[in-house]
A and B are shown apart, each in its own frame.
Chain A
Amino acid sequence: MNIVEMRGITKRFGTLVANDKVDIDLGRGEIHALLGENGAGKSTLMKILYGLYQPDEVTITIEGRTQPIRSPAEAIERGVGFVSQHFSLVPTFTVAENILLGYEQQFRLDPAQMHTRVAQLATDNGFNIDPSAIVGKLSVGQQQRVEILKAIFRDCRVLILDEPTAVLTPRDTQSLFEILLKLCAQGLAVIIITHKLEEALQHSQRVTVLRHGKVVGSQETSSTTSAELARLMVGRQTTPVQRPANANASEPVVLEVSGLSVADKRGVHALNAVNFQVRAGEIVGIAGVAGNGQSELVSVLTGMLQPQRGAMRVDGQAVAFGDPRACTRHKIGRIPEDRLRGVIGDLSVADNLMIEQLDQFTIVGHLQPHAILEHAQRLINDFQIKAAPNDPVRTLSGGNIQKVILARTLAQDPAVVIAAQPTRGVDIGATEYVHQKLLEQKQRGAAILLISEDLDEILLLSDRILVMYNGRLVGEFDAAAVDLDRLSLLMTGAEKTG
């Protein structure tokens, strides 16, 4: 018997039909993968199930009870849990407080008891997490684990995970699915949204593919293939990009980073004497398990964090730290790890596309609306962004927000590109597209630093791979001759020589 049956779900945003007569069933104890391009309507459908959006037409049946879900509180009460793409944690609270928030029955809080309960919950489920850590200080990957724990703690029978693995390392992903498997054996039903076809094929029992808001396929996972799913999603054959010939070692060094160290207040090094160079027309990939200093490295290189020691040069000129404007001056294009920091969600697409180059679009402090609009239309066209210039960026799907950032950054012909997790949460079609754009920049002669937790992406694009572990660069590989076994050993810190 199905635990959830959604019938004829239709949701419009203005004239846009985000969900068009969608039917979807979820069986008890099953992992159901929901696939589709960016903007296909996956998140919208799940937000309807969680009571965040009210559909225009609908019947939702949960555990045999047909009744509309008017709010998240009702959804939780009926056993639905939701871990969203963008987390809903209170950054200044501890892990334990976040998990128990709104759930603690007593008026008085007992920190010690809360700590033990959450610690117990974490170990029971195989999560390695400190209940008294402040959430805002955790890495994105760790924060997600808190979110998942929080849902599990609320005793849900239907768990919705919106792109949970986008931020997890391969190892964490593995353990997530182990946990889910265990919970499913006890009857939990899981809907998982993902852009990684392999995950869907390996771990789910059923897949449903959405395209332009409609269901274009729903079947047993065992009866489908990755090629078929990709075709259903995108509506055409997909092919991964081909890396052009390796960069020429005689090209000049463009980006040079030396002796970079970042220590927190207790003197623990997040980055420890990091040195590297990137040449013109070269893509250097930084591989590593999340939380080994990549975030700090990106923050320093994008002008958001002041390191204790070190220097950074572009074309031989020193770049001031802690000043995002210096980055723009030295033509450093930045694709930030946290997409929502790279845009102002409440401003329009057009404004976001030019906000880094305000000088070019103002005459004595006065904005030039025509120039701004033209610029936006050109980039929307060139980068195939599914949006109108005046749409607030907030209403775009994740992949399209990423395209806005990409368009703004790459349209400036940057000398250096810092690309942090450029395809996190981006569908296969768009991923291909992002890769292609990065390779175009490389051909043009940009020096590209690619920081990604997706090892496949690093292997696909990089000319040279650096391995980061515990704040240090511990190994270097030429892309032509990667020893994968050694690479994974270095990533886990098992081998400490480079």
Chain B
Amino acid sequence: MMTLGLKFERLPSPVWVRAAIPFVAIAITFALVSVLVILAGANPFAVAYELLIDPLTKNSARGDILVMATPLLLTGAAVALAFAGGYYNIGAEGQLLAGAAAAAWVGQFVGDLSPWLAIPVMITGGFIAGALWALIPALLKVRLQVDEVVTTLLMNSIMGYIISALLNGPWRDPVSGWPQSPTIALSAQFPQIIPRTRVHFGFIVAAVVVIALWWILTRTRFGLELRAIGKNRDGAQFLGIRVERTMLAVALISGGIAGLAGVSEVAGIHYYLIGSLSPGYGYTGIIVATLGALAAPGVVMAALFLALVSRGALTASRELDIPIYLADVIQAVLLLVMLAVLLLTRYRIRRA
């Protein structure tokens, strides 16, 4: 009944407008950054080509896009699920690391098992670890109404320190002395799934999770209940939905999915745990989920798009001899513009 003064009203915009969004955003971005690019001595059109088109023309680069999209699909799905249920989980980063630590630990002891057993055991372990790491903020939220934005965020730094303690203590590599965990057993390492690329089994895990997300949100009772809670908590309570229980489940599943992103990075890429395992995939997941309008198809598009631009940035800086941070700047501006354009086309600001 009562809301704060202003609110965003969702308007259904025509299909052609939505289809044009990425192109409009890209055009605006290049108008904005071309000055910087020219100052760096490069041709803006060449940069655009390297960033957005070139990666799609080569087989190995296409594979890299899928590899880079894998953790983003997972954290994006984790965040989208939580946000759709009105649970603002900012802790995907910590949950990812929890899952990674679990995978690195379980992975050391499954050498005697066949991969058919070792991999599922490790995946389950990572999921549980992520969910457990999400449990404390979730309980605080559900039982004591403690704001989850703060608690999940703080839990990220705690997990960061735990990882660093592990790597500098019990798991420090005995031979090299590097802060990295022992390599996981061969049977626990994710197999490569596309020949001559680095695409690994984690991509299949991510695909399954995203399909499950779509199915949960659109086809299940649980999904309907969590969306009801996300949109109108009081109303959901009135309608007999078990708000606390559903929210707790949402928080734990979200944490578990984020944990899978950690498993995938350890078992599919590095085969051991290192402190720099994630360059903020958990936080990028928030961008993926938001860009993707908290729905599975959007998460897929957003994750692939971000992966494309990141992959393009690698070659752009190499080929055109521009500083790597310029590519980062372009990427950041593109994201901001994309969000702004999305917001402007999808919403209208009005008095509540």
B227 touches A324 (CB 8 A): no
Chain B residues 221-243 with CB under 8 Å of chain A are: 221-225, 227-228, 231-232, 234-242
Within 1-50 of B, Cβ neighbours of A (below 8 Å) are at 1-5, 12
A136 interfacial by beta-carbon distance below 8 Å:
yes
Contact sample, A vs B, 7 pairs, CB 8 Å cutoff = A86-B2, A89-B2, A340-B235, A341-B238, A343-B232, A344-B232, A365-B222
When the two chains form the complex, which single residue of A87, A135, A324 contacts B240, counting CB atoms closer than 8 Å?
A324
A140 to B1, CA, bound (A): 10
**A341-B1, A367-B220, A367-B224 known; A88 and B351 CB under 8 Å?**
yes
Is A327's CB under 8 angstroms from B2's CB? no
CB-based nearest A residue for B228: A344
A88 to B6, CA, bound (A): 9
Distance in angstroms between the alpha carbons of A358 and B351 in the assembled complex: 34
Check B231–A101 contact: CB distance below 8 A.
Answer: no
Partner of B12, one of A14, A86, A143, A365: A14
A367 B231 Cβ-Cβ under 8 A: no
Min distance, Cβ A369 to any Cβ of chain B, angstroms: 8
B270 within 8 A of A: no
Q: Are B235 and A365 in contact (CB under 8 A)?
A: no
Contacts of A87 in B (CB 8 A): 1-2
In Å, the complex CA distance between A304 and B221 comes to: 23
Cβ-closest chain A residue relative to B220: A365
Interface residue ranges of A272-326 to B (CB < 8 Å): 302-304, 324-325
Q: How far is it, in angstroms, between the C-alpha of A140 and the C-alpha of B220 when the chains are bound? A: 36
Closest to A85 in B: B1
Which of chain A's residues have a CB closer than 8 A to the CB of B2? Answer: 86-91, 135-136, 143
Q: Are B224 and A343 in touch, CB under 8 angstroms?
A: no
Q: CA–CA, A351 to B227, complex, Å?
A: 11
Known contacts A88-B351, A358-B225, A366-B221; 18 further A-B pairs (Cβ under 8 A):
A86-B1, A101-B5, A102-B5, A136-B2, A304-B237, A325-B242, A338-B1, A340-B232, A341-B1, A341-B232, A341-B235, A341-B238, A344-B228, A345-B235, A358-B221, A358-B224, A367-B223, A367-B224
Tally of B interface residues using CB under 8 Å: 29
Count residues of A near B (Cβ-Cβ below 8 Å): 46
Among A90, A102, A143, A367, chain B packs the most CB atoms within 10 A around the CB of A367
> A326-342: contact bitstring with B at CB < 8 Å (1 yes, 0 no)?
01100000101010111
Selected contact of B231 from candidates A143, A325, A338, A347, CB within 8 Å: A347
Check B350 for interface membership: any CB of A closer than 8 A: yes
Note all chain B residues with C-beta closer than 8 A to A86: 1-2
The answer to whether B219 touches A367 (Cβ under 8 A) is yes
Complex alpha-carbon distance, A304 and B352, angstroms: 25
Whether A324 contacts B237 by the Cβ 8 Å rule is yes
Are A351 and B237 touching (Cβ within 8 A)?
no
- In the complex, whether A72 has a CB less than 8 A from a CB of chain B is yes
Are A90 and B240 neighbours in the complex by a CB distance under 8 Å?
no
Within 8 A of A (CB), among B299-334: none
CB-based contact A345/B351 at 8 Å: no
Q: Which single member of B221, B237, B241, B350 contacts A362 (CB below 8 Å)?
A: B221
A91 proximity list for chain B (CB < 8 A): 2
Alpha-carbon gap, A84 to B5, bound state (A): 12
A41 to chain B, nearest CB (A): 17
List, in ascending order, chain A residues with CB within 8 A of B1's CB: 86-87, 140, 338, 340-341
Judging by beta carbons under 8 Å apart, are B235 and A342 in contact? yes
Give Cα distance in the complex from A431 to B235, angstroms. 24
Closest to A408 in B: B239
The answer to whether B237 touches A90 (Cβ under 8 A) is no
Within 8 Å CB of A356, what residues of B? Answer: 239-240
8 Å CB interface, B193-234 against A: 219-225, 227-228, 231-232, 234
Whether A52 contacts B221 by the Cβ 8 Å rule is: no
- Please state if B219 and A366 are interface contacts (CB–CB under 8 Å): yes
Select from chain B the residue with minimum beta-carbon distance to A87. Answer: B2
Q: Taking A345-B231, A365-B221 as contacts, is the C-beta distance between A336 and B352 under 8 angstroms?
A: no
Min distance, Cβ A208 to any Cβ of chain B, angstroms: 24
**Complex partner residue of B239 from A14, A143, A344, CB under 8 angstroms:** A344
Contact across chains for B227 and A347 when beta carbons are under 8 A apart: yes
- A320 to B: closest C-beta gap in Å: 12
In the complex, how many angstroms separate the beta carbon of B152 from the nearest chain A beta carbon? 24
Q: What's the minimum C-beta distance from B4 to chain A, rounded to whole angstroms?
A: 6
What B residues does A22 contact at CB under 8 A? none
Q: How distant is B283 from chain A, measured CB to nearest CB, in Å?
A: 26
The 6 closest A-B pairs by CB, nearest first: A346-B231, A324-B240, A362-B221, A325-B240, A344-B228, A344-B232
Task: Report the minimal beta-carbon distance from B242 to chain A, rounded to whole angstroms.
Answer: 8
Residues of A within 8 A of B234 (CB): 341
Our pick among B5, B225, B235 for the contact of A90 (Cβ within 8 Å) is: B5
In angstroms, how far is the closest chain A Cβ from the Cβ of B348? Answer: 9
CB-CB < 8 A to A143: which residues of B? 2
Q: Write out the residue numbers on chain A whose beta carbons fall within 8 Å of the beta carbon of B241.
A: 355
Instruction: Give a binary string over A363-387; 1 marks a CB under 8 Å from any B CB, 0 the rest.
Output: 0011101000000000000000000
| Docked pose: A355 CA to B292 CA in angstroms | 26
A328 to B2, CA, bound (A): 27
- Cα A52 to Cα B349 in complex, Å, equals 9
